[in-house]
Structure formats: structure tokens, C-alpha cells
């Protein structure tokens, strides 16, 4: 079937519906959603029952870049600085040095066991060097599995921040494949430029985005997520244009926004959560359509050997060496090593050799696709088993509860207070978003001139206002009173 303007919406919506239903099934039975989405795409493809003809790596790469921006940005918004601060350097080590060591060790192995040149092997290693956060945590949620201490934020930080490193390595080694006369050392300036500029512009655009969001006056709440989408793509495109890593910039920008007060923050985060899911489904479906299963069959043998080496040797080597400076129990290191699922990102990166036209581009793409699928099948279906085997799972009786559960079961601990804004108060004329109110406190209502208002971040305080505030601890009461005095 050839996609046309007349049928693309119908086909797209049907594939989306089938993927959501498949995702619900996978969530219930613990089957990785990534595998289901890819399978739906493959079944709908030219060699499947759908017969949809799609063989456009350039379009697939564009869809992948757009999707990755949404996925990384949404992950950054959800990243709690308080949670990752204690394990910041462990996460950074895993997402940089760990990725590099994984790529190099796998690349050398591929060079030794195949007819790939060293640079071609390193390129393949770089493409599959990053992990997939969506695949990891969809499985953990499906199994209702909690992890001890700081394991979960460590895995979240690594999975959310290691794609930029893999991207830089992919571009660098692809350049070496195209120009084999160059030395490996020639990629160092590119690496430093990409990472330093990416981090710098991410922070600067984060501050600028916060200022724009909180100062612009939009008449409709629904326009704020649209504004953030525009800022997200400006951050990525500008950073990329100036030679930095756009993916890293977007992630850092999102982390900055997610940990500061911005207007309509809840609305923005909910919209991006939905968009991230949509982009994951679209991305996986597109990559499923792009692959030709018959072309993978000849590479199953070598693909399995490379995949097992990645899972059992390259990934653990990268994890253990990068975590040497840190104190961590051995079984936790082993579990981090096992939680190294490869997902859609490596398949997106595998389109770069295709567009560059290198000799082994098709072979690399098919091997990468096979590695991603086997990684999800082998590691994804055993995360719960290994968590219990290594004693890093939280027992059911002490499992952490989510905020809704805590509120419903411990309502007597919630404190409500009323604060009057006096006529001489320094907060008069300020917006709520500019107040230094603790995150544990929420202004739920304002009584003004006998009427009750539901405030937003842009609401200006006036003399005579009475604020009704909820907080989950008594410590917040003193802080609020001091802030509004």
C-alpha cells in the first residue's frame, strides 16, 4: 500500500489506536512497549499484512529527531534536582565515560570478529551505546517494582542524559569512516565543542525560557505549552547551528524549567507527558515500517553474538569502570549493568550511515535493529527477576507511595492556613510565581473583596487579599508566613 494524502490520516490513526491497545496489554503483562510498537510497525510495513510501502531514511531520521526532542524535554521536566543531586556525578559518569567505554569495547570486538574496519566497528558501537529510558521504566511500572535507595534516580539520570553522548560519538566516528586518513584524536575537539556548548546553551536557554514564560501575557492557558514547544525547538536548533549538542541543551533546559517556578507548570508538564508518549509511539511505528524483516535474517547469527557481547561484557565493563571512583555495593553495579536496554534511539542513529552512503550502512542498520530487539527481549523481560535476585527491589510492605496515596491516607497531616496580605506588605503587586513559597505549599484560593478566586502563577497579589494555603508539613507554615510578611 502506498501512503497518500487521502489515506494517511486513517492509516495513521488506526496504527496509533492499535499501538495504544498493544501498549495497555504490554503494561499489564510486563511485555516491553517498545517491542509491541515496533511489531505493529513491522506488521503494517511492506513485508507485513499492512503492505505499507515506506523506505525513506531521511524522513525517518527527521521524525526521530523531532520525537527525541519531545521525549528528552519531557524527561527533563520530570527530573527532580533534589532526587538526582546526591547521585549527580554517578549519573554523569555513566552517561559520558560509561557510554564511551561501551562504544569503544564493542567497536573493537566487532572489528575483531567481522570484516568491519576499526572505524566501522566503532561507529556501530557508538550507535548502540545509549540506553532507553522509556523501555526501562515502562517495564518497572508494569511490574510495580520499586528499587532501593538511589538506584531509580541514577537510572533515570543516565537514561535521560546519555543520548547526547551517543550522538556525538556517532557523528564523530561516522566522520572517521568517511575520512579514514584522519586520526581518532581528531574527534576530541568536536566532542569538547559539542558537550561544552550544549551544556552552556542549555543553561542559558533555560534561564531565558523561564523569563519569557513568566513575563509574557497570554490570554489562554492552552497557549503556554505551545510557547514551551517553540522555546524547545529554538533551543535545539540554535545550539545545533552554533556547533553545540542540541539534545543535551534541550535536556538541561528542561531540567532547569522543571525545577523552577513557571506559570501553568502543571498544564505544561501534563501536555508534554502526553506528547512524549505520542512521539514514542510515532517513532517506534516509523522505525518498524522502515525495517525489512527479510533483510535482517542473514545477520541473525552475528547480530546475536554482538548483542550478547554488548549485554554481558561491553555494558558491564562501561558501568564498572565509570563507577570506580564511587562507593556503591557490587550488586547495585551489576543491576545497573543489566538495565542497559537499547531502544529506538540507536535505530534512529543508524539512519545517519544510511544517509551518508557508506558501504556497510545497510548491514549496520539491520544489526542495530536486531540488537535493539534482542536487548529488549532478553533484558527487558528479566528486570524484575534480577532486581529480586540481586536484592535491590523494595519489598511490597515498604514500597514508596505516590503523592496521591499519601494524601488520601494521611489527610490528617495536611495543614491548611490562611494568610492576610496587609496594605503595607512588600508582596503587593507581585505575581505568585515570583514568591519564594516552598514547593510543599500550594495557594489553592484567594479571597478578594468577598469573592473567591482560583489563582494561577500570573495572579497579582493585592492588599486585603486572604490566601488559603495547603502544605503537607508544619515546617512549611513558618516559611510561608515569613515569605508573605
C-alpha cell at 464: 486585603
The per-residue pLDDT of the chain, averaged, comes to 82
The confidence band for 188, taking pLDDT boundaries of 50, 70 and 90, is: confident
Of 67, 20, 456, the C-alpha closest to 267 is 456
Q: Is 299:115 a contact under the CB 8 Å cutoff?
A: no
Range 81-86 average pLDDT: 85
In this prediction, what percent of the chain has a pLDDT beyond 70? 86
Q: How far apart are CA 112 and CA 108, in angstroms?
A: 6
Q: Is 368:127 a contact under the CB 8 Å cutoff?
A: yes
C-alpha cell at 333: 553495579
Give the per-residue pLDDT at 256: 94
Beta-carbon contacts of residue 294 (< 8 Å; ≥ 6 apart): 47
Q: Is 137:147 a contact under the CB 8 Å cutoff?
A: no
Give the per-residue pLDDT at 24: 64
Q: Is 60:287 a contact under the CB 8 Å cutoff?
A: yes
Q: How far apart are CA 56 and CA 68, in angstroms?
A: 18
Give the per-residue pLDDT at 98: 93
Domains along the sequence of the chain with CATH:
8-398 (1.20.1530.20), 404-484 (3.30.70.1450)
Indicate the pTM of the whole model. Answer: 0.80
Q: Which residue has the cell 560509561?
A: 98
Q: How far apart are CA 443 and CA 433, in angstroms?
A: 11
Q: Tell me: pLDDT of 473 over 60.
A: yes
The confidence band for 406, taking pLDDT boundaries of 50, 70 and 90, is: very low
Q: Tell me: pLDDT of 33 over 70.
A: no
Q: How far apart are CA 61 and CA 352, in angstroms?
A: 8
For the four alpha carbons of 327, 331, 332 and 338, in that order, the dihedral sign comes to positive
The more confidently predicted of residues 450 and 361 is 361
Amino acid at each position: 500500500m502506498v501512503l497518500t494524502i487521502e489515506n494517511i490520516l486513517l492509516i495513521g490513526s488506526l496504527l496509533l489506536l492499535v499501538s495504544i491497545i498493544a501498549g495497555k496489554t504490554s503494561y499489564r503483562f510486563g511485555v516491553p512497549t517498545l517491542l509491541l510498537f515496533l511489531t505493529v510497525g513491522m506488521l503494517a510495513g511492506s513485508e507485513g499484512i499492512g503492505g505499507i510501502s515506506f523506505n525513506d531514511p531521511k524522513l525517518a531520521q527527521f521524525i526521530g529527531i523531532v520525537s527525541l526532542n519531545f521525549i528528552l524535554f519531557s524527561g527533563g521536566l520530570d527530573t527532580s534536582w533534589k532526587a538526582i543531586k546526591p547521585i549527580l556525578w554517578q549519573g554523569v559518569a555513566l552517561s559520558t565515560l560509561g557510554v564511551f567505554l561501551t562504544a569503544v569495547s564493542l567497536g573493537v570486538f566487532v572489528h575483531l570478529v567481522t570484516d568491519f574496519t576499526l572505524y566501522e566497528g566503532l561507529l556501530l558501537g557508538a550507535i548502540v551505546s545509549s540506553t532507553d529510558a522509556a523501555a526501562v521504566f515502562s517495564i518497572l511500572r508494569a511490574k510495580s517494582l520499586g528499587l532501593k535507595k538511589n538506584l531509580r534516580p541514577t537510572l533515570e539520570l543516565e537514561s535521560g542524559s546519555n543520548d547526547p553522548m551517543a550522538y556525538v560519538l556517532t557523528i564523530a566516528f561516522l566522520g572517521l569512516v568517511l575520512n579514514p586518513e584522519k586520526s581518532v584524536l581528531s574527534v576530541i575537539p568536536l566532542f569538547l565543542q559539542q558537550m561544552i556548548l550544549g551544556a552552556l546553551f542549555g543553561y542559558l536557554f533555560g534561564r531565558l525560557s523561564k523569563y519569557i514564560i513568566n513575563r509574557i501575557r497570554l490570554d489562554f492557558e492552552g497557549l503556554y505549552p505551545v510557547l514551551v514547544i517553540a522555546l524547545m525547538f529554538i533551543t535545539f536548533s540554535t545550539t545545533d547551528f552554533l556547533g553545540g549538542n542540541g539534545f543535551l541543551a534541550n535536556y538541561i533546559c528542561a531540567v532547569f524549567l522543571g525545577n523552577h517556578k513557571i506559570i501553568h507548570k502543571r498544564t505544561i508538564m501534563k501536555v508534554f507527558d502526553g506528547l512524549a508518549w505520542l512521539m514514542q509511539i510515532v517513532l517506534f511505528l516509523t522505525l518498524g515500517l522502515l525495517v525489512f524483516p527479510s533483510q535482517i535474517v542473514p545477520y541473525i547469527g552475528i547480530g546475536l553474538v554482538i548483542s550478547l557481547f554488548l549485554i554481558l561484557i561491553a555494558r558491564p565493563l562501561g558501568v564498572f569502570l565509570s563507577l570506580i571512583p564511587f562507593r556503591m555495593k557490587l550488586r547495585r553495579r551489576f543491576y545497573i549493568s543489566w538495565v542497559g536496554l537499547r531502544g529506538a534511539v540507536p535505530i534512529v542513529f543508524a539512519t545517519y550511515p544510511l544517509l551518508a552512503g557508506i558501504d556497510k550502512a545497510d548491514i549496520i542498520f539491520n544489526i542495530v535493529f536486531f540488537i535493539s530487539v534482542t536487548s529488549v527481549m532478553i533484558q527487558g523481560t528479566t528486570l524484575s527477576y534480577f532486581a529480586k535476585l540481586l536484592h535491590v527491589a523494595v519489598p511490597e510492605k515498604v514500597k514508596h507511595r505516590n503523592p496521591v496515596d499519601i494524601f488520601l491516607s494521611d489527610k490528617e497531616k495536611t495543614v491548611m492556613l490562611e494568610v492576610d496580605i496587609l496594605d503595607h506588605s512588600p508582596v503587593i503587586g507581585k505575581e505568585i510565581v515570583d514568591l519564594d513559597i516552598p514547593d510543599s505549599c500550594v495557594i489553592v484560593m484567594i479571597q478578594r473583596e468577598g469573592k473567591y478566586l482560583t489563582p494561577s502563577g500570573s495572579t497579582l497579589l493585592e492588599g486585603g487579599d486572604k490566601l488559603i494555603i495547603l502544605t503537607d508539613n508544619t515546617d512549611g507554615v513558618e516559611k510561608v508566613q515569613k515569605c508573605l510578611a
